[in-house]
Structure 1
């Protein structure tokens, strides 16, 4: 009998994304799976129930999850949601496992197998499943759009008979996926863009987008990357020199966008109150790490805070602010992973425990937390 996939409506009040698209539903059905979509699941992403039904999905209330073999979600299920799933079901979502061992314990106790999409290894085979990249890309774009909305001046240089308006100066801190997209977007809008990163390889990427790279480029910096492409811990002396350079640069900027996140740890503080005080009146910061404590001193999650005369945009769930696009990409990430878990002949779920993707992302199975990174939580109990 074919496996049933349930697309859940997100219960989090700030979550407008959905774990499927019309195209992903059609593809799952073509694989022989039965697809059930919770009514209203796609409303926040401009996908109607009728559109899902026309794609071949069945519509149901939340109780439809009770008979599902696979539940696809954006966020980790709450305790009440977990209790509504049948024992042995598989949940695939952005599980946010770091620091949430209690919630993982509840999922394990419910007898569910769960996969964390954000733990997907960054290997060639899994590129199409990389939710961190797909969502960060959109976050970097939206950060610039949000900054432009709040900024009371034009971004590009404007030459008129009445005079010339200079281009806005945008500084992006962190040249990962989100940072690079922020650079590209700000450049397309005509801003003068600069960026910094602790990885030497980032210099070429930043320059390729037409932005200026800001860093103390001494011998230590040139050797500051491991064979795997990650940044090494820098000396206190180097950190002090870099901080001085960045502080001097920030004072001349109109908009600062910060993107630095460290898995499993609070976001590093990059911009101090003293740096904010040095900025011009009307300047802005956009803190994309605000949900993890923030890169900017004084940033507040879910708010636009004002510190030393500088507004700090700290919106939660930035990809969800452009939910239609975010859901489209996330649905493709999920579908690509789900395909690797399906027996194409039997049309049923068949998880290969030796698959490197499974090893990297499987959190709970058989009543236990099985991921080595969270093994100490295997006896955890409680609500999400």
Structure 2
């Protein structure tokens, strides 16, 4: 069994496996091939991989000689023609990348996209969304603090008192909760909004206030993902957010719905009521953003408000992000490789089935297929 690790595109600093995780697989007598320079931006050199027992090769050699190929971002349609591997593992956002997924299916590639894993207790050790969102939530607050023109904590000095920053977090998922915890550590006063009443206790346990809006759609059957809300609820939601955002200095937005454009939670009218110098960090920027002015990978200045659009903040901490991502990959590989280092796909396993997108020239994931059939 040979596993290949590819270098990511220039905008991505992470790598699928650091040398320390590669060493664990090598101990299991798995051959590891690393594309030349794949780990450099995560501060893992070719020498580190070689010390762990991996072999450094060119990109073409890794693609042509690996049984399983690891690449966080999708390979291009031109590259998949040369794959020896029938197994491709990464984070491919298949609900938003239909044409590429169709190409993978046509090429006969078995594709596993770990962002599609069921959100269950058993899947936690493989949950790349959670491990990376945790980092993004932490870094979102530091990014906001860096752009904010005032202190976060309250200060009482001889020159006068400084009030603490008021932070509003929209969405209490993994990223949102980490943002809450980080903002509290920095001394801010934090309020949180989420459509799921069940997260109220978690929010309060971190010392934040939970902003409640009644009438949310039940998300208990959505596998841990957000769901679309009714128009009536959205109106009440907008009103409540408008009241809270007018008092906020920092807003962290995290709201996304798989396969859909991110919901607009902050209107231009709401932003006009915000204090000059306020900062919005939009983690949903890659799917349109939670404000109408958000631009992915850009900072927009509007009427004294700073809007930072970034859905890949985890890449600003490539060492820990790669370490955690690599452990997620390692744990998933244990499901599909047996003790004899042979590929063994158990379709009765909900995690294997749930993460599989294409197999035997077909789109097999029900959620992806449903979108594909509508187009």
In which range does the TM-score fall when normalised by the shorter chain? Answer: over 0.9
Which of the residues 95, 101, 105 maps onto 1:104?
Answer: 101
Equivalence map 1:196-207=2 (5 Å): 196-207=193-204
Q: 1:361 aligns with which of 355, 368, 371?
A: 355
Instruction: Provide the residue aligned with 1:325 in structure 2.
Output: 320
Q: Could you give the per-residue CA deviations for residues 185-215 of structure 1, whole angstroms, max 9, x where no partner exists?
A: 0000111111111111121111100011112
State the shift of 1:49 in Å.
Answer: 0.9
Please give the secondary structure, in 2, of the residue aligned with 1:36: strand
Shift of 1:372: 2.3
Once residues 40 and 174 of structure 1 are traced to their aligned partners in structure 2, the CA distance between those partners, rounded to angstroms, is 37
Match of 1:342 in 2: 337
Q: Is 1:256 matched with 2:251?
A: yes
Aligned to 1:382: none
Whole-angstrom distance in 1 between the partners of 2:318 and 2:228? 36
Conserved 8 A contact 1:251-1:280: yes
TM-score after normalising by structure 1: 0.92
Contact map agreement 1:224 1:234 (CA 8 A) in 2: no
Structure 1 unaligned runs (5+)? 380-384
Superposed, which structure 2 residues align to 1:22-37 within 5 Å? 22-37=19-34
Task: Note the aligned Cα RMSD (angstroms).
Answer: 2.0
Counterpart for residue 79 of structure 1:
77
Aligned to 2:44: 47
User: 1:149-168, aligned counterparts within 5 Å?
Assistant: 149-168=146-165
* Partner-residue secondary structure (3-state), 1:178: helix
- 1:124 equivalent to 2:118? Answer no
Matches within 5 A, 1:142-221: 142-216=139-213, 218=214, 220=215
Q: Does 1:293 align with 2:288?
A: yes
Which position in structure 1 is the counterpart of 2:367? 373
Alpha-carbon distance between aligned partners in 2 of 1:31 and 1:312, rounded to the nearest angstrom: 47
Match of 2:241 in 1: 246
Cα separation, partners in 2 of 1:25 and 1:169, compared to 1, 3 Å? same
Deviation sequence 1:201-231 (CA, Å, 0-9, x none): 1211111000111123x5x46x855467777
Residue of structure 2 in register with 1:68 after alignment: 66
TM-score (norm 2): 0.94
> How far did 1:176 drift?
0.8
Q: Given the superposition, is the C-alpha separation of residues 98 and 307 from structure 1 closer, same or farther in structure 2, using an over 3 Å criterion?
A: same
| Distance change (3 Å), C-alpha of 1:133 and 1:50 | same
Q: Counterpart in 2 of 1:4?
A: 2
Equivalent pairs, count: 371
Q: Any conservation in 2 of the 1:14–1:317 contact (CA below 8 Å)?
A: no
Q: 1:306 to 1:120 in 2, by over 3 A?
A: same
Structure 2 residue ranges without an equivalent (≥5): none
SS of match in other structure, 1:92: strand
Q: Structure 2 vs 1, CA of residues 237 and 63 (structure 1 numbering), >3 Å: closer, same or farther?
A: closer
Aligned-pair CA distance for 1:13: 2.6
| Secondary structure of residue in 2 paired with 1:75 | coil
Give the distance between the partners of 1:362 and 1:227, measured in 2 at CA.
Answer: 20
The SS at the match of 2:271 is helix
Within 1, Cα distance between the matches of 2:251 and 2:329?
33
CA-CA distance at 1:53 after TM superposition? 0.8
1:364 Cα deviation from its structure 2 partner:
1.5
Q: Counterpart in 2 of 1:269?
A: 264
Instruction: Confirm or deny: 8 A CA contact 1:273 1:307 kept in the other structure.
Output: no
Shift in Å at residue 234 of structure 1?
5.3
